[in-house]
Amino acid sequence: MSHIPHTPVPEDLSRPVPMTLPRLAEKRQLGEPIVMITAYDYPSAQVAEEAGVDIVLVGDSGAMTVLGYPSTVPVSTDEMLMLAAAVRRGLKTPLLVGDLPFGSYEASDEQAIRTAQRFVKEAGCDAVKLERGGTSVQRAKAIAESGIPVMGHVGLTPQTATALGGHRAQGRTAERALQVARDAVALQEAGCFSIVFEAIPAAVAQELMERLDVPVIGIGAGPATDGQVLVFHDLLGIYDGHVARFVKRYAETKAQMVAGVAEYTEDVRRRAFPTPEHTYTIDEDELARFRAALT
């Protein structure tokens, strides 16, 4: 057998390293904050990529922010898969998590596994997320055992907001906080690699952090969680529906978009656009030949 010399390939340190589950767990251990954001299409994925976030969630919040539904409930698996596949095409580095929509996983373990597999096979997701404790714990276990990483979601779970009394903070009495605690621990025991805490008191989240080992990502759960998540359209001021208390706006993008489109509208109407710089030319001789050929 001929000897093949081993030439070490120099590591390209400028290239971002793709996020993995062990790296997320390590971030928790090291106390390094984990950054998660939602995305729903190719350009928002590219923004998340370039900004260097750790996790991108194709949230079912896209039902409202990009599809215009009044809540997250009506969105279908096929609609979510189309959004997730577009995000996949714009993303290289962050972990991509697909949100299982309402009605796509609750009925049976088989249904949950089948839907989760579609997110992985058809949209290229690395993991899926589902909402609630209760029967969702068994569904999370089944999906995790089938080999697909699952993220849990407790506290305010918008898919079942009606049963929770509306889109309001959860865990604000000892009993309700205990329920959130039970759900979170059960999801961890079921094999979830991470859990989202949504809209619970900061003090409750802080108590729970000591009782959980997996990375916890908060949205409206205060500063004690391992990471934070915000909805892309809330953060950038693109969506002007109801803005929850926990949203911090980092830009007013919709106002800028409206101003841009209004200026374009005005320019077209007063014939100020297009100008020569946005126009193609043709050689005079070619134009003359063209005119002659037309007659």
Which of 48, 59, 75, 85 binds ligand KIV (CB under 6 A)? It is 59
Dist CA 281 CA 284 (whole Å): 9
CA 70, 76, 82, 86 torsion-angle sign: positive
State which residue has the least CB distance to ligand KIV.
59
Query: Rule CB under 6 A: is residue 216 a binding residue for ligand KIV?
Result: no
What whole-number distance in Å separates Cα of residue 263 and Cα of residue 241? 24
- For 40, the 3-state DSSP assignment is coil
Q: Which residues contact 125 (CB under 8 A, 6 or more apart)?
A: 58, 84, 88, 96, 97, 98, 119
Strand, helix or coil at 37?
strand
Which CB atom, from 248 or from 269, has the smaller least distance to ligand KIV? 248
Q: Is 127 in the site for ligand KIV (CB under 6 A)?
A: no
Per CB under 6 A, contacts with ligand KIV among 235-274 are none
**SS3 state at 187:** helix
Query: Kindly report the CA angle at 197 between 194 and 203, in degrees rounded to 5?
Result: 120
Report yes or no: 228 and 218 within 8 Å, Cβ to Cβ. Answer: yes
* Residue of 25, 40, 21, 161 whose CA lies nearest to 89: 40
Does 198 qualify as catalytic in the annotation? yes
Among 127, 209, 219, 238, binds ligand KIV (CB under 6 A): 219
| Site mask for ligand KIV (CB under 6 A), range 152-171, x = bound | -x------------------
Q: How far is CA 160 from the centre of its chain?
A: 19
CB of 186 to ligand KIV, least distance (A): 19
Using the rule CB under 6 A, is 231 a contact of ligand KIV?
yes
* Options 49, 106, 131, 198, the catalytic residue: 198
196 binds ligand KIV (CB under 6 A): yes
Minimum separation from the CB atom of position 153 to ligand KIV (A): 6
Binding to ligand KIV, residues 6-45 (CB under 6 A)? 38
| Stretch near ligand KIV under the rule CB under 6 A, chosen from 59-67, 205-213, 264-272, 274-282 | 59-67
Minimum separation from the CB atom of position 47 to ligand KIV (A):
16
Token readout for 165 is 């009394």
User: According to CB under 6 A, which one of 60, 126, 183, 226 is a site residue for ligand KIV?
Assistant: 60
Interatomic CA distance for residues 80 and 165, integer angstroms: 26
Give the residue numbers marked as catalytic: 198
The residues of the shown chain that bind ligand KIV, judged by CB under 6 A, are 38, 57, 59-61, 99, 153, 196, 198, 219, 229, 231
